[in-house]
A and B are shown apart, each in its own frame.
Chain A
Amino acid sequence: MALAVSPAQRGADHLPTGALRRRLSVPNERAAVATASVWIRAVGAEAGLSETDLFRLDLCVTEALTNTFSYGGLDADSAHTEIECEAAEHVVRCTLRDAGVAFDPAAAELPALPSLLDHAARGGAGLRLVREFADACTYLREAERNVFSFTLQRHGSRASSRSNWVARGAERRALVERLKVLSRPAGVIGVGIADGSGDAVERDRRSGVERRALGFISQLRILQGAPYSALETLIADCPQRTLAAEQVWLAPGERSTDVAVVLTGRLRVHVESAETAPIYVVDVGHCAGEMQLLDGDPASAFVIADVDSTVLLIPGRMLRERLLSIPQVAANLLSILAGRIRRSDRLIAEQVRAAMELERLHRELKLAQEIQVSMLPVPPLFSELPQIDCVGFMRPAKEVGGDFYDAFALDANHVFVTIGDICGKGLPSALFMVRTLTTLWNETTRRRNPQRIVEHVNRHLCVNNDSGLFVSLFCGVYDLGTRCLQFVSAGHNPPLISIAGEPLHFLDAPRNLVAGIAPQANFRAGSIELRAGSLVILYTDGLTEAESVDQQWFGDERLLATIEHVRDEPLPELTSAVVRAVDEFAVDAVQADDLTLLAFRVNA
């Protein structure tokens, strides 16, 4: 049987017909390398090789096989490597056949010896070992298969190695047994070895520097599938850069002359600010910075190392002039850009959806505000009662407020006035305000005593109030006959009052807890006679605590002085004047709280 060798060597190295021949087929996977080691040592031992030659044989088979399953691009499930070993008196030849991508280990340039402890330098060590430890290597491509042969000139005499084996007879017998197991017909693929008729493929052009990159080139998205021969010198010229975690590689407005391909670690990309959530993450094998290289505009985003990272910097000029002319690289770049566009589309769609959702919420809040405002009475109040005038005003700080007021007749002789301020703002307060108002309405249908009304309202508000909201509340019941105002203040600001033209002062109301906190709380009431010409101003703290730009409060004294100034004006003018005074005081400042006011006057 003739051995397949390259045409140039055919005939030169034919082994004698009496040579020992053994074959083994192993799957292309890690575990098979150990199997092949055991087998080749057994074959070598059978042929009487010296320890040194066994080492060489073992090493060359190990490395050649490792190379095949590491770089061969084989489908591990189906791919096998066939190993044939022939041993004659002075020479041993081993041939490996695999169906991986064409690669000539015999011709490939060796990488430079490692000069720094860089993992890229490790690749190719195995290849160097085979070439150093074998005396000759040949390669040809035959029937879609790599056929790699190496020969060893035997060192040391058969006799000395035999004695060596005699001394370890038991071990040798064990090896021979294992050899029998490994060489069972099932383990051997009985392919006919071509009679030197295979055609040598075009010489593999993969270079040593490229071999250095071989380990990671296949992982680089932008270079995937490109022929190594086209990349070899290019990639070797690309510098690597290490980035510490959080180091900014590129910021908006900057121009980089390189595309960064992540070798280790991870980059993240932010738009607008580095503080916002990243729009995407660039993992190992993926690249950043290609957009600004292609269109020449400055970067539009932040590119930041998420963890300690290493990047391969591909100069823009090389990308444009050399790499993009490789069809597979161009296709990869288009695919990357298509992915970016899809991602942008997705982000835009999400933002549009979020904007629509926000728009819908705004519309609903607007509606909520309308409903809330519609719950408050519309002036003029008590137009059917000549004995009294009453005007209310409420302006929420946000779309919906937590303040309220109300005024209505309980019966022919009694009117009810109230003002309240829910703690907090926004929708929860607005809902609690609705609850307070409806409870008040409910309680006032059956009671005339403000103390009882507040006690019951308080009890109702305490039920199912897990969010702990509460309300400061002032309730008054005015008897049109006796002109007596009975009132309860549940933690509310003291009203301003003037009895029959006397000076304005803050009503000294009994102090009580706010409502909604303690269901068993007692509320003390007060009463005062409001003769003709008396004026009562109910308000919330949004008025006294209105802030100016220099953080001054409008305050009690200013409120007192303002109202004193307009106390004889009709109530609509009076309330307008107060609101105007507050607005002028707080000009340009953001209104922080609802502004609510209820004015009540007893006519002559």
Chain B
Amino acid sequence: MKMTIHPMAGDLTVISLEGRLDIQGADAIDDQFAFATTTKPKRIVVDLSQVVFMASIGIRTLFTAARAQTARGGRIVLAAPTEMVNKVLLTAGVDQLMPIFDSVELACTALESA
């Protein structure tokens, strides 16, 4: 599991995840991801295009970030999940808590205009 942070204009940040978001993957990025997403209010796009596998533990990682941002007045959205990852997200109801966009660009636009 790999995580890359791309600071954009203003407080907008794109966080790209790459690999399997299973127990090992979540363990690998949890601290780093939590630090990037929970410490201060931001507008965050999580780029899931390179996430090849997503288990419930990964959903928890996303929920933690969403909860922290909601509490701090920030926003976090998901972008570009693969078909199967998207199905996992929909099955777990993640879309009810975090908007899911088809592409990073659409997500950024939505956050910028928000």
Q: Which residues of A contact B (CB under 8 A)?
A: 30, 33-34, 37, 52, 55-56, 58-59, 62-63, 66, 113-115, 117, 119, 122, 125-126, 128-129, 132-133
Q: Which residues of B contact A (CB under 8 A)?
A: 20, 22-24, 27, 53-57, 59-60, 63, 66-67, 70, 83-84, 87-88, 91-93, 96-97
Closest B residue to A127 by beta carbon equals B56
Closest Cβ of chain A to B89, distance in Å, is 10
Decide: B53 and A58 in contact? CB cutoff 8 A.
yes
**What A residues does B54 contact at CB under 8 A?**
59
A125 to B97 alpha-carbon distance, docked (Å): 14
A125 to B70 alpha-carbon distance, docked (Å): 21
A63 to B55 alpha-carbon distance, docked (Å): 7
17 A-B pairs in the complex with CB atoms less than 8 angstroms apart: A37-B22, A52-B83, A52-B84, A55-B53, A55-B84, A62-B22, A62-B23, A66-B56, A114-B63, A114-B97, A117-B63, A117-B70, A122-B60, A125-B60, A125-B92, A129-B55, A129-B91
Decide: B59 and A125 in contact? CB cutoff 8 A.
yes
**What B residues does A126 contact at CB under 8 A?**
55-56
Among the interface residues B63, B92, B96, B97, which one has the most CB atoms of the partner chain A within 10 A? B92
Which residue of the partner chain, among B20, B57, B60, B91, contacts A128 with CB atoms under 8 Å? B91
Decide: B55 and A59 in contact? CB cutoff 8 A.
yes
A471 to B97 alpha-carbon distance, docked (Å): 77
A379 to B27 alpha-carbon distance, docked (Å): 88
A37 to B55 alpha-carbon distance, docked (Å): 11
A243 to B63 alpha-carbon distance, docked (Å): 23
Decide: A122 and B24 in contact? CB cutoff 8 A.
no
**What B residues does A122 contact at CB under 8 A?**
56, 59-60, 63
Decide: B23 and A59 in contact? CB cutoff 8 A.
no
A122 to B63 alpha-carbon distance, docked (Å): 8
Decide: A33 and B56 in contact? CB cutoff 8 A.
no
Query: What 9 new A-B contacts, CB under 8 Å, besides A125-B56, A125-B92, A129-B92?
Result: A30-B27, A33-B22, A55-B53, A59-B55, A62-B23, A113-B92, A115-B96, A126-B56, A129-B91
B contact face: mostly helix, strand, loop, or mixed:
helix
Cβ-closest 10 pairs across A and B: A113-B93, A126-B56, A117-B67, A125-B56, A132-B91, A55-B84, A34-B24, A125-B92, A62-B55, A33-B23
Decide: A34 and B22 in contact? CB cutoff 8 A.
yes
**What B residues does A34 contact at CB under 8 A?**
22-24
Which residue of the partner chain, among B20, B57, B96, contacts A66 with CB atoms under 8 Å? B57
> Total number of A-B contacts with CB less than 8 angstroms?
68
**What B residues does A62 contact at CB under 8 A?**
22-23, 55
Among the interface residues B23, B27, B96, which one has the most CB atoms of the partner chain A within 10 A? B23
Closest A residue to B52 by beta carbon equals A55
- Knowing A52-B84, A66-B57 touch, does A133 contact B70 (C-beta < 8 A)? no
A34 to B24 alpha-carbon distance, docked (Å): 7
**What B residues does A119 contact at CB under 8 A?**
63, 67
**What A residues does B22 contact at CB under 8 A?**
33-34, 37, 62
Closest Cβ of chain B to A273, distance in Å, is 34
Closest Cβ of chain A to B109, distance in Å, is 24
**What B residues does A58 contact at CB under 8 A?**
53
Closest Cβ of chain B to A156, distance in Å, is 12
**What B residues does A117 contact at CB under 8 A?**
63, 66-67, 70, 97
A132 to B87 alpha-carbon distance, docked (Å): 9
Decide: B56 and A129 in contact? CB cutoff 8 A.
yes
Closest Cβ of chain A to B42, distance in Å, is 16
- Knowing A33-B22, A34-B24, A37-B22 touch, does A128 contact B92 (C-beta < 8 A)? yes
Decide: A59 and B67 in contact? CB cutoff 8 A.
no
Which residue of the partner chain, among A30, A63, A113, contacts B56 with CB atoms under 8 Å? A63
Closest A residue to B23 by beta carbon equals A33
A114 to B89 alpha-carbon distance, docked (Å): 12
Closest Cβ of chain B to A112, distance in Å, is 9
Decide: B88 and A59 in contact? CB cutoff 8 A.
yes
**What A residues does B23 contact at CB under 8 A?**
30, 33-34, 62, 66
A115 to B94 alpha-carbon distance, docked (Å): 9
**What B residues does A63 contact at CB under 8 A?**
55-56
A333 to B1 alpha-carbon distance, docked (Å): 46
Closest A residue to B94 by beta carbon equals A114
Closest Cβ of chain A to B76, distance in Å, is 11
A58 to B24 alpha-carbon distance, docked (Å): 14
**What A residues does B87 contact at CB under 8 A?**
132-133
**What A residues does B67 contact at CB under 8 A?**
117, 119
A66 to B93 alpha-carbon distance, docked (Å): 19
Closest Cβ of chain B to A596, distance in Å, is 68
Closest Cβ of chain A to B37, distance in Å, is 13
Decide: B53 and A59 in contact? CB cutoff 8 A.
yes
A553 to B72 alpha-carbon distance, docked (Å): 62
Closest A residue to B57 by beta carbon equals A66
Closest B residue to A116 by beta carbon equals B97
A126 to B92 alpha-carbon distance, docked (Å): 8
Closest B residue to A52 by beta carbon equals B84
A66 to B23 alpha-carbon distance, docked (Å): 9
A30 to B59 alpha-carbon distance, docked (Å): 16
Among the interface residues B56, B67, B83, B93, which one has the most CB atoms of the partner chain A within 10 A? B56
A138 to B51 alpha-carbon distance, docked (Å): 30
A62 to B57 alpha-carbon distance, docked (Å): 10
Decide: B96 and A113 in contact? CB cutoff 8 A.
yes
A66 to B57 alpha-carbon distance, docked (Å): 9
Closest Cβ of chain B to A199, distance in Å, is 31
- Knowing A34-B23, A66-B57 touch, does A114 contact B96 (C-beta < 8 A)? yes
A475 to B71 alpha-carbon distance, docked (Å): 77
A133 to B84 alpha-carbon distance, docked (Å): 10
